[in-house]
Chains A and B, each alone.
Chain A
Amino acid sequence: MILATAFHPKYNPLIRKLESIFTLSDEERHALQGLPMQVVAIKADQDIVREGDAPSRSCLILSGFACTYKVTVQGKRQIVSFNLPGDVPDLQSLHLKVIDNSIATISPCSVGFITHEDLRAICDRYPRITAAFWRETLIDAAIFREWVLNVGRREAYTRMAHVLCELLTRLRAVGLVEDHACDLPITQGEFADALGVTTVHVNRVIQAMRADGLIELSGDRLNIPDWDRLKEVGEFDPTYLHLESDQAAA
């Protein structure tokens, strides 16, 4: 970890994220903007928090991709969600003392650590911010439910299409999509851990999706030439993301 000194990042995706699911007043937005945080640059593939930790702060993803995961006794990893800029993937640790999952970076990330003390103070002062945080953790749970369905019951091809639709929709909500293109620093091995299939299988699925004209990949950049078709293939209905605006359908 490299410690940085910035306490108030210029671009704070937390507000953008919360506004995609909740209407904030100017005062609440201002209060969130003033929330102190310790900004840390973390390299790719590093744990941010580990299962069993009892943290006194929560982490806000300012930039980059991270994931929430759990591991079997044999060491097999299941990624249970991808964490994108604006997400506070361990917000629940404000109320649940011991973290029951780990969170790791996928790409190099800038992470803002906010103390639970400061989070409690802002919640005490602004009950609607408490409601917004509550709504965010409820939507996290909705995403986990959708992933159980995805991993447990959908075919690999559909599964992958669904996850890509979710990523694009969530990135769009925080302004990180241009047309239908976005950064995608997730490796095939990481997709395998997220989808519950082997890396070989992920590679076959990606090759088939490319051949079918559903996705275009160039380096870490994903382009979706036919959004409606990808949504259809992925059985993607964005209702579970509970976005406030119509951007989900875009």
Chain B
Amino acid sequence: MTFTLQPIRVATGFDEEGMMVLDEKQRLVAVLVRLSDENEVAPGQWYLEAGFGQIDGINHPAFSNLDMAQDWISQRVTRGR
């Protein structure tokens, strides 16, 4: 599954940049946030801030890059079909 990424600023309270992840039908699947370098847990990583549909839930992993994030989202969305 291929996604489109659209940059968006997310009001997490830490001035972090994010990406909206849209599927082939331009539906919002997830919002990823690049954690600030001040974050003490996963600085600079892409955090699944919000997921919709198949990836809505309590699992919010962080990824070292956007490709890994998209792979993970793709697996979850496909599995749910």
Contact = CB atoms under 8 A, between A and B. Distances in A.
A203 B41 contact: yes
Given A188-B40, A188-B41, A204 B14 contact: yes
Interface string A155-199: 000000000000000000000000000000000100000001011
Contacts of A204: 12-14, 39
Main secondary structure of the interface of A (DSSP, over half): helix
Interface of A: 76, 188, 196, 198-204, 207-208
Nearest to A202: B41
A172 to B, nearest CB: 28
Interface residues of B, number: 13
Contacts of A203: 39-41
A200 B58 contact: no
A208 B14 CA distance: 9
A75 to B, nearest CB: 12
B58 A199 contact: no
A196 B58 contact: yes
B47 A208 contact: no
Contacts of A188: 40-41
Contacts, number: 28
B69 interface: no
Contact of B35 (A196, A200, A208): A200
B9 interface: no
* A188, A199, A200, A207, most chain B CB atoms within 10 A: A200
Given A201-B60, A203-B40, A204-B13, 11 more contacts: A76-B58, A188-B41, A198-B47, A199-B42, A200-B41, A200-B42, A200-B62, A202-B41, A203-B41, A204-B39, A207-B14
Contact of A199 (B12, B13, B14, B41): B41
Contact of A207 (B38, B42, B60): B38
25 contacts: A76-B58, A188-B40, A188-B41, A196-B58, A198-B47, A198-B60, A199-B41, A199-B42, A200-B35, A200-B39, A200-B41, A200-B42, A200-B47, A200-B60, A200-B62, A201-B60, A202-B41, A203-B40, A203-B41, A204-B12, A204-B13, A204-B14, A207-B38, A207-B40, A208-B13
Interface string B13-29: 11000000000000000
A187 B73 CA distance: 29
Contacts of A199: 41-42
A198 B47 CA distance: 10
B40 to A, nearest CB: 5
Contacts of B58: 76, 196
Interface in B40-64: 40-42, 47, 58, 60, 62
B1 to A, nearest CB: 23
Nearest to A76: B58
A120 B13 CA distance: 54
B11 to A, nearest CB: 12
Nearest to B61: A198
